[in-house]
Structure 1
Amino acid sequence: MTKLATSVGLLAAILAVSAAARTIQVRTLDQAGAEKVLQAAKALAEQRKAPSAVAVVDPAGDLLAFTRMDGVRPASAELAIEKARTAARLQRPTAEIEDNINQGRTAFVTAGIMSLRGGMPVRVNGEVVGAVGIAGMSKETDTEIAKDAAAAVGTAAKTPDHS
């Protein structure tokens, strides 16, 4: 019986170590980081006199922060959220997706993702920690604001503590 208990204990220890070895740490924007990106985007839009809807999401595309400035079209709210979600999940700017479609990669049209310019991943040390989506006056302005706002975050990401 002692031999059996020892074997079971040893097996449990091996499985526990094996399970721990398969975990990874994921960095994500915290609320302060999301607000920093949101405020940067809002300030950039105000400077350009380009009312916009601004959405900031985590790496999974879940909404962290949102604002819709006065004078922006009502549909821009949903567009901003979807642009941010797509940039986060695909880990690349939505401008690349739009360019791919324009160059003949039409399968993206049926993929159920936002393929309009204005979504930009937020990166810290090269790692996607979230994304920002801008929907306002023009695709060029949306892209510029998203790019500059994504760069504003610096080191405002954190590694979740699962202790």
Structure 2
Amino acid sequence: METNQKQAFKSLYQAIDKANEIGVNANITILDPAGHLKAFIRMDDAFLGSIDISMGKAKTAMLFRMNSEAVGEFLNPENKTYGMVNTSGGLVGFKGGVPVKSGNDIVAYIGVSGGSPDQDFEIATAGSLV
């Protein structure tokens, strides 16, 4: 299912509202189901270094159709998946990347970086239901 512009911006604005509510200046990335950039914002004063992290979280969620921290469980050294983190141009296995759903359908992926992993997850979750 293709992400339409209305869904992408609804997700983005919901995430921005949550970021403002909790006082985090975040980078927020929205990818369509195929992993192509649909929307992005670097909120005022968000860290420049977090741009790639937000994109990486969204991409990681897209590649495995699950939250980025769930992918992170596979990346733990005790799972003997050495090198997996370096596949697909790099995976980001901590909180802040989630599928965006409309009903039961995944219509996009959101990645957020700028706060703590828990704050990024809270912001991403706010943008994950359209």
How far off is 1:128 after superposition? 1.6
The CA RMSD over aligned residues, in Å, is 1.5
Q: Aligned pair 1:140/2:114, yes or no?
A: no
* Larger of the two Rg values belongs to structure: 1
Unaligned runs of 5+ in 1: 1-26, 154-163
* Residue pairs, 1:1-163, within 5 angstroms: 27-102=1-76, 104-107=78-81, 108-111=84-87, 112-151=90-129, 153=130
* Larger RCO (CA within 8 A; separation ≥ 6): 2
Alpha-carbon distance, 1:64 to partner: 0.4
User: Alpha-carbon deviations, 1:137-163, whole Å to 9, x = none?
Assistant: 100100111112102x1xxxxxxxxxx
**Cα distance change of structure 1 residues 36 and 106 upon mapping to structure 2, 3 Å threshold:** farther
Contact 1:61 1:86 in 2 (8 A): no
- TM-score normalised by structure 2 residue count: 0.88
Normalised to the residue count of structure 1, the TM-score between the two structures is 0.71
Given that residues 57 and 63 in structure 1 are in contact (C-alpha distance below 8 angstroms), is that contact kept between their aligned partners in structure 2?
yes
Give the length in aligned residue pairs. Answer: 126
List per-residue Cα deviations over 1:29-76 (Å, max 9, x = no partner): 101110110011011000000110000010111100000011211011
The answer on whether the counterparts of 1:118 and 1:135 sit within 8 Å (CA) in structure 2 is yes
Quick one: distance in 1 between partners of 2:19 and 2:69? 18
Shift in alpha-carbon separation, 1:147–1:60, aligned structure 2, 3 A: same
Specify every segment of 5 or more residues in structure 2 that has no aligned partner in the other structure, as ranges: none
- Check conservation: 2:60, 2:71, Cα contact below 8 A: no
Please state whether the residue corresponding to 2:127 is helix, strand or coil. Answer: helix
Q: Deviations over 1:14-38 (max 9, x none)?
A: xxxxxxxxxxxxx121011101100
Quote the Cα distance in structure 2 between the aligned partners of 1:106 and 1:139.
24
